[in-house]
Structure 1
């Protein structure tokens, strides 16, 4: 008995039959449960985003305040150094100038409470004068990073170096230094202002953070200058491998990100910002657990309530479904058997595409519709290039896999319900396109050709090195005098022309039977 082919434009007789009770019950219960779960999810997700947005605003404001404070601190020290360097380069720093320089240094330190001290070193790294009354004795500072930097660089810009312990009293300081030159521009020494790390520590403590929150100040290369909570062993370590320095800062000089710390591994919401005037980065972070603490509590309570409701609905539904399952099972089995038989009769088992039987019946339906509506009907015939070589080289199992992959590419390009993708035979396929003119057919053909190429299926027997297809298109408006054989022959003729012209291309046959368009897009 022939199996009827559904018309995609007209509902077949009996399509609007009674929905089985078991399905209706399952759908209703599932819909209720899904709605409850969906509403819970939407409510929780909205709440979570709201909490995260508030945390991001707070984090951005905090880092902005930190950046402003840090920039002001370094700028004040830099201005002091700039004025003193200009004076020293003009007047020199011989013994006669030393008392005056010492008093000036001391006054500047007293005026800026964030300064630990001001120090002048000669070109050998020895102390010349400091803001302290007694001049330190010792090996000097020729081994310090900031001294070597100015010794090797002629730049007159301020240099911020890694945090160090002062050789004056052992206090942790952040060195801000400038090069001192003679009148000919030769290196004569270094003028350094040491900023107390305790100054930043006290500033950090003025902000309220959770127990796992953190704040830090680092150089642009990732060297840690100051951190809350303060851990002495971490000062000077590198954060360069962290996501902030590896990924975020190269893209934007400020922002927010939820990431794990390279120091302790805790996931936090970081707000970060690089200073405009100095190579320094500030960041503040609240732990993920602290940000979402209230949200977690709400989520647990709401989830328990919804789970109980869903459980109640499910138990009621199960009892109801149990009463009708026996009768519905028989009906469902019959429908499943019918669907299986229809699929076997009308579809290719390897590719899942329609077979020639379904194709021929669909052609008859579309011919009649096209004639009634005077609408164009297009057919694409396509063939896998050098498929025999592929089977000979890789075997029939690989050939079947290749056919299945081409079928997937074919189906991915058939977007409308009315479009029908067919395995016509062997390695030949067809695509029936109702209400489609020649330009639309050629566009679809090119999409299919590129989709197959994008699969990158290796084919040593093909000139391209990959599996490709050739496609022939024909489009016309059916009349009562046309035959399906004519449509297939003309699409085949276009396919022959595409293969004859070199394969891996699409060809269109005109109404007169000649080749109207030949198109190929090389990869």
Structure 2
């Protein structure tokens, strides 16, 4: 049973908990690594957001420039057509005026680089005059969308149609057309200015975009007019199902959006703007990969550096933790060795009971405790009756076994943690009972006596035929000025009384017998 080696009442500050160094080291290393990774993540997120914001500003500026250029391009052509339409409506266009009209058309085309040519068609869609010297041959343009539009609509506003191939020379053009009326306001034909698609291609090329970037000019219904990079098969295709036309344009005439392109499936940051004067939309887009390329390179480099640092911290932590574990193992071994030495120093090796060294320390503690609490302290002294005869009859080896059996019986009767069973010397034992009065000590002493007899250890040299013990009890309330030696002597005197009275019994010290406590007879 564990024996307290100190008085808990003497601990003024309580027991300090030992710092769990291994756990603290692991938590510190994990915290450092997580902090490094967290800081890297925050820095990369901020850097990524900054790059995207800068790209959005650049995209807005680019689409603004594209919108202005496109509006200027169509407006200049529109003004030319408006002046020509007013002239034709006022003066008509007989055979006499055709040479003059042809030269006028040609001069206007030379004045505007964006113009492929100017064409006048009659009400049947046949060529009347063009900016080219020779009229094309063929069935005319009555089947063209722009011609049908003006044939069915009386509006004098310019109309921009889907891109077509010129029947003059096969060049891709964007048709800008106006209705021409006669003097009575009836449909007389169509005046057409063909805007070169190559003009927009050259304009788009003047801007620096990445290989996966794109720029386009489209009608507000999503019909693609011009695009960089130029893919002939895509001209005239519709973008109406794309996010820009389905989601963004209906809510804002300009802005930015990260969009997956319908045409090629590449994720791009699209800046878009709808023109005020014409039903046109311009868009410039940079691929997300290009926008974030510098960020990706930086992120990779930073991640490698942080990864190496984390690896270094981890390796250092592993070594440190290994050392801490070794230290704890060594400390545990030392603690076990210390406990073993403590056990050897304070306990009897034969019986396992406390020895006199521990007994004296316990007496010192219990005297102090009893004095503070004014509680009774009792001591039982006992020894084996006729033990010398037992050794002579059975030998010392069997005698040692007998001592161990008796010690076991004594220890079994010490039920409380504070009770202390002691091998006092030879065949003599002691039981220290804190907070126990004389009546309680006698009960325990009687229990010990019966338990020893109950073992039925044969002893031919004893009148009872078995091993018995004699026990003496003494109890008092410590005052703080008491003598440990006197306390033991009085319990020992009670033991003498038990032996003197016939052995195999429990006795208490009579005060009249105190003077004879040191006188012993043959036991």
Normalised by the length of structure 2, the TM-score is 0.56
Which is worse superposed, 143-152 or 17-26? Answer: 17-26
Q: Give the deviation of 1:26 after TM superposition.
A: 4.1
Residue number in structure 2 paired with 1:169:
169
The CA RMSD measured in Å over matched residues stands at 2.5
Distance in 1, Cα, partners of 2:219 & 2:179: 19
**Corresponding pairs, count:** 314
Contact 1:117 1:130 in 2 (8 A): yes
Q: Offset at 1:18?
A: 8.4
Aligned pairs for 1:424-439 within 5 A: none
| Counterpart position of 2:101 | 101
CA distance in 2, matches of 1:82, 1:152: 19
> 1:41 deviation in Å?
1.3
Per-residue CA distance 1:438-497 (angstroms, 9 max, x = gap): xxxxxxxxxxxxxxxxxxxxxxxxxxxxxxxxxxxxxxxxxxxxxxxxxxxxxxxxxxxx
Aligned-pair distance for 1:318? Answer: 4.8
Match in the other structure for 1:239: 239
- Give the 5 Å matches for 1:22-171: 24-171=24-171
CA distance in 2, matches of 1:112, 1:316: 74
Using the alignment, how far apart are the partners of 1:157 and 1:27 within structure 2? Answer: 76
Q: Residues of 2 paired with 1:149 and 1:161: CA distance?
A: 9
SS at match of 1:281: strand
Equivalent-residue separation in structure 2 for 1:278 and 1:22 (angstroms) = 74
Q: Give 1:447's aligned residue.
A: none
1:60-108: CA deviation from partner (whole Å, max 9, x where unpaired): 2221111111110000000011111111111112223322222221111
Distance 1:178 1:229 in 2: 30
What are the Cα deviations for residues 1-50 of structure 1, in whole angstroms up to 9, with x where unaligned?
xxxxxxxxxxxxx9x99886565444423321222112111221222222
**What pairs with 1:196-207 in structure 2 (closer than 5 Å)?**
196-207=196-207
The normalised TM-score by structure 1 is 0.56
* 1:226 and 2:226 matched: yes
**Are the counterparts in 2 of residues 225 and 235 from structure 1 also a CA contact under 8 Å?**
yes
| TM-fit CA distance, 1:146 | 0.5
Give the number of the structure whose alpha-carbon radius of gyration is greater: 2
Cα deviation, residue 109, structure 1: 1.0
Name stretches of at least 5 consecutive residues in structure 2 with no aligned partner: 1-13, 329-523
Find the aligned partners of 2:23 and 2:253 in 1 and give their Cα distance. Answer: 57
- Residue 211 of structure 1 deviates from its aligned partner by 1.6
CA distance 1:319–1:194, shift in 2 (3 Å): same
Aligned to 2:208: 208
Report the counterpart of residue 500 of structure 1 in structure 2: none
| 1:308 and 2:305 correspond | no
Gaps of 5+ in 1: 1-13, 328-523
Does the CA-based 8 Å contact 1:21-1:324 persist in structure 2?
Answer: no
Q: Could you list the per-position Cα deviations for residues 190-244 of structure 1 after superposition, in whole angstroms to 9, with x for gaps in the alignment?
A: 1100011111111111122222222111111111111111111111111111111
User: Structure 2: how far apart are the matches of 1:275 and 1:20?
Assistant: 71
